[in-house]
Amino acid sequence: MTKPPEQDDQTNRIVAVTLDEDSIGRSGPDIEHERAIAIYDLIEQNLFAPDGADGKGPFTLHIGITGNRLMFDIRREDGTPVVAHLLSLTPFRRIVKDYFMICDSYYQAIRTATPDKIEAIDMGRRGIHDEGSRTLQERLKGKVLVDFETSRRLFTLITVLHWKG
């Protein structure tokens, strides 16, 4: 039996993330800023172990969209290909839509609502974010081992890729 990677393991981690401009495209400065923050947070702390890579990282991740699929092109730091995975975006469609709706409610509430109402909306927002993170973790099962916090950061990046501003 293989021992799961340690969280502070410096080989089972992402050290760089790039976005495929042809399939994702560039956006306005606010969205580009949010994407940069999501990527920074992901790189800062993560556990990312592609199945079969046997800890021969660290890894770079190139993300693109092809059709209705999210593409994860995983490579070693030196550029050597490891694996590419295509994940259907369909399971995320409702979650992302709900997440954006509750975020809109949250931004409206912070202007006029009571602290209790704001906190309740924020708890709902975190719950939907957690649901998306668990869905992503499940979709990656058997392909890439990620811990829950890494899954949360990846889900944040997926939502920012969908954000139209």
Residue 57 forms part of a structural domain? yes
Instruction: Report the share of the chain in percent with pLDDT over 90.
Output: 67
For residue 92, the enclosing domain spans 14-162
Q: How many domains does the chain have?
A: 1
Dump pLDDT digits (tens) for 98-152: 998 998 899 899 999 999 999 999 999 999 999 999 999 999 999 999 999 999 9
153 found inside a domain: yes
- Choose between 158 and 9: higher pLDDT: 158
- Answer whether residue 6 is part of any domain: no
Classify residue 150: in a domain, yes or no: yes
Q: Is the pLDDT of residue 53 over 50?
A: yes
User: pTM for the complete prediction?
Assistant: 0.86
- Selection from 19, 7, 75 nearest residue 47 by Cα: 7
What DSSP line would sit under 58-120, residue for residue? Answer: -EEEEEEEETTEEEEEEEETTS-EEEEEEEESHHHHHHHHHHHHHHHHHHHHHHHS-HHHHHH
Instruction: For tokens 């979709």, name the residue.
Output: 139
Q: What is the token pair recorded at 163?
A: 């954000």
Does the pLDDT value for residue 26 go beyond 80? no
1 part of a folded domain: no
Is 133 domain-assigned? yes
